[in-house]
Structure 1
Amino acid sequence: MKHSTFNLNEQNQKIESRIVVALERISEAFRVLLWNESKENSLSPIQIQILIFIHFHDLEKCKVGYLADEFNMTKATISDSVRVLLSKELVTKETDPIDTRSYTLSLTDEGKKVAKKASFFASSIEQPLEKLTQEQKTIMLNGLLGLIYNLNKSGIITIQRMCFTCSFYHAENGIHYCNLLKTKLAESEIRVDCPEHEVLKS
């Protein structure tokens, strides 16, 4: 029978298990920081995440269906959160003239204020990373991107706007290239969330 990653004997024998547990510890830190930010604004963590997402992404992505895929939740769950944000006048909605069941979300002035402040909730996690060397940061980024890419391929993570899943991305002999920017990309320049991302056709 396969051992659990959280079995201490398993952890001590497999570096993969220790990496998973380390990632789980970091995810706990994210949850705590996000929860503290949401309590301060009398919102739920997902409502804070929705505000931050709308603040930094184009209108085409600010729809209930897209948000549901982005956060791996049902449309009903996202719709409930959006209703609260509408009632608190943090977002407004504009109905699609072609499909009246669909609408786009935008931040109100108050919503922008809350989203801007909340977007710094993870800064205390970024600070220790600044102490790493450039080489350490590049290795860590590449490892995480590879993990995210494979989780996306296996269907555990849904939407990804990273270079590896983009139709503009090309790699040959270890050289990364962006056909949109017409330039080579250093390993440290590979993007996790690119505004120009176009889904790679399978």
Structure 2
Amino acid sequence: MSSFNLKKQENNIDYKIVVALERISEAFKVLLWKESKENSLSPIQIQILIFLLFHSEEKCKVSYLANEFNLTKATISDSIRVLHKKELITKIYSETDSRSYTIQLSSKGRKIAEKSAYFTSSIEKPIQQFSKEQKEIVFSSLVQMIKSLNTSGVITLQRMCFTCTNYKLQNNQHFCSLLQSNLHDSELRIDCQDHVLKVS
């Protein structure tokens, strides 16, 4: 039965949650479109610029970006071509392989990325009104949902604790071997710069 079936939805909280998440997803799309139009770019091009701003050099390659955004290399390459033409990025070619390159923001691209990175501020405002307990419940639930979607293959690349070699569950307690510390649920990371993918 579809979550969008109004009669079934009335008495099924699972369906209501799915539809609520769809509405929030729509808000992200609207805000991203607004930001992209202001800069005469596509939404994915804005997302790429923001990604380049906050992630390390080894992740700033076409193949990694394709996995990150669940798109083909060809689609990412098209966006990179446009960004390069608009002088928003530079390509740093490998000394050993002339076909391989790392993507970096130009000064012009960095300015757009730094401004565009705040496109979610309208979504952050209502969250700031939640109590600490509400935030922890929402965050814990979303982390478990992302983990499940990743496990089932709906979303691929995830730099979260559950997929990291440094993560362990000891006596029902989250533990990071890199930090040598137990982690509270709210300390789990969704996108960790020190993430090392666990090989299954």
Same fold (TM over 0.5): yes
Tell me the SS of whatever aligns to 1:184: strand
Q: Which runs of 5+ in 1 are unaligned?
A: none
> In structure 2, how many angstroms separate the alpha carbons of the residues matched to 1:97 and 1:152?
35
What per-residue deviation string (whole Å, max 9, x for no partner) do you get for residues 172-199 of structure 1? 2331111001111111111000000001
Aligned to 1:109: 107
Q: Using the alignment, how far apart are the partners of 2:61 and 2:96 within structure 1? A: 14
Paired residue for 1:160?
Answer: 158
The 1-side partners of 2:99 and 2:154 are apart by 28
Q: Distance in 1 between matches of 2:179 and 2:125?
A: 30
Q: State the one-letter code of the partner of 1:25.
A: R
Letter in 2 for 1:16: D
Q: TM-score, normalised by structure 2?
A: 0.98
Shift of the alpha carbon at 1:13? 2.5
Which residue number in structure 2 is paired with residue 17 of structure 1?
A: 15
Of the candidates 116, 131, 140, which is equivalent to residue 138 of structure 2?
A: 140
Q: How many correspondences in the alignment?
A: 200
Q: Which residue of 1 aligns with 2:33?
A: 35
One of 85, 88, 91 as aligned partner of 2:89:
91
Q: Could you say what secondary structure the match of 1:49 adopts?
A: helix
1:61 alignment partner AA: K
| Match for residue 195 of structure 1 among 174, 193, 196 | 193
Q: How far apart are residue 11 of structure 1 and its match?
A: 1.2
Q: Which range moves more in the overlay, 81-90 or 8-17?
A: 8-17
Alpha-carbon RMSD across the aligned residues, in angstroms, is: 0.8
> Match of 2:184, as an amino acid?
A
Q: Give the counterpart letter for 2:21 in structure 1.
A: L
Between stretches 12-21 and 117-126, larger displacement belongs to: 12-21
Q: CA deviation at 1:49?
A: 0.1
Shift in Å, 1:99: 2.5
CA distance in 2, matches of 1:33, 1:8: 27
Secondary structure of the residue aligned to 1:201 is coil
